[in-house]
């Protein structure tokens, strides 16, 4: 059975802000002991990019981040409300256990609260940072409990580049239940790529940062995963 990929490199922890974040529930007392501010561990000059130049939605999210960094817990609560479902859906799909997914999602936001002071804008929405924290918690769970996602050992078939969007054609033809059932038969890397790109709607760049790969590798992985999905879907939906 394939093992999960190595966790993204992490930077040193930041100082913790004052406790309490709106209606955020309490999590484990040791939460936040080893997640860094940037998903890929790369230091970046905060002056290099300006979130105010991004889309209104992204600019608004980073305005809340800045407010939370200054101690505004209502701002963090709004971030929690805005991104909870995104993180929860990702964790639930990876773990296939609603109670466990709720626990991991709660702990992810507690860790995020403790690290919020050190996160900097890197040209993307803050959602990728929250998902990366949750991803690291999933790795912790896998290592501690020997939990393994179900996967197949099917050979991966290389694809030639296409300009007709075969990925979306394959996914559009399946119902949610059929799609999820088939995605669970992919290997772990393929599962994660499909989940982030199509079920979560992240860009190639955001997916690459979370998976600690370059964009070309993500595109190749995506092509192979969708080809495998097309083989797994019922004949009438291919």
Can you tell me the mean pLDDT for 125-149? Answer: 78
What does pLDDT average to over the chain?
A: 71
Q: CATH number of the domain at 166-237, out of 3.40.30.10, 1.25.60.10, 3.30.420.40, 1.10.10.10?
A: 1.10.10.10
CATH number of 51-145: 1.10.1740.10
* End-to-end CA gap in the chain: 27
The string of DSSP letters for 62-114 reads HHHHHHHHTT-HHHHHHHHHHHHHHHHHHHHHHH--HHHHHHHHHHHHHHHHH
pLDDT of 30 over the 70 cut: no
pLDDT value, residue 134: 94
pLDDT value, residue 216: 92
- Report the 10 Å Cβ neighbour count for 147: 15
More confident position, 158 or 2: 2
Residues 6+ apart with CB under 8 A from 210: 8, 39, 128, 131, 132, 135, 196, 202
Of the listed ranges 24-33, 85-94, 203-212, 220-229, the one predicted with least confidence: 24-33
Can you tell me the mean pLDDT for 193-215? Answer: 86
pLDDT value, residue 53: 67
pLDDT value, residue 168: 55
Percent share of the chain, pLDDT over 90: 26
Can you tell me the mean pLDDT for 77-89? Answer: 93
Domain map (residue ranges) of the chain:
51-145, 166-237
Predicted structure pTM score:
0.54
Domains 51-145 and 166-237 share a fold: no
pLDDT value, residue 19: 36
């Amino acid at each position: 059975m394939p093992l999960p990929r190595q966790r993204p490199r992490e930077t040193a922890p930041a100082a913790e802000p004052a406790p309490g974040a709106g209606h955020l529930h309490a999590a484990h007392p040791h939460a936040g002991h080893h997640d860094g501010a940037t998903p890929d561990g790369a230091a970046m000059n905060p002056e290099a990019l300006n979130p105010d130049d991004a889309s209104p939605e992204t600019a608004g999210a980073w305005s809340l981040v800045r407010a939370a960094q200054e101690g505004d817990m209502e701002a963090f609560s709004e971030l929690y409300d805005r991104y909870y479902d995104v993180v929860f859906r990702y964790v639930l799909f990876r773990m296939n256990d609603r109670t466990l997914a709720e626990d991991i999602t709660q702990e992810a936001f507690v860790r995020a609260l403790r690290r919020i002071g050190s996160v900097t804008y890197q040209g993307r929405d803050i959602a990728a940072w929250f998902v990366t924290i949750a991803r690291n918690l999933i790795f912790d769970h896998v290592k501690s409990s020997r939990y393994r996602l179900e996967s197949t050992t099917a050979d991966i078939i290389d694809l030639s580049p296409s300009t007709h969007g075969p990925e979306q054609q394959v996914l559009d033809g399946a119902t949610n239940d059929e799609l999820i059932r088939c995605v669970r038969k992919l290997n772990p890397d393929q599962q994660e790529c499909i989940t982030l790109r199509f079920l979560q709607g992240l860009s190639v760049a955001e997916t690459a940062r979370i998976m600690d790969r370059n964009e070309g590798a993500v595109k190749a992985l995506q092509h192979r995963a969708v080809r495998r999905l097309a083989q797994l879907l019922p004949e009438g939906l291919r």
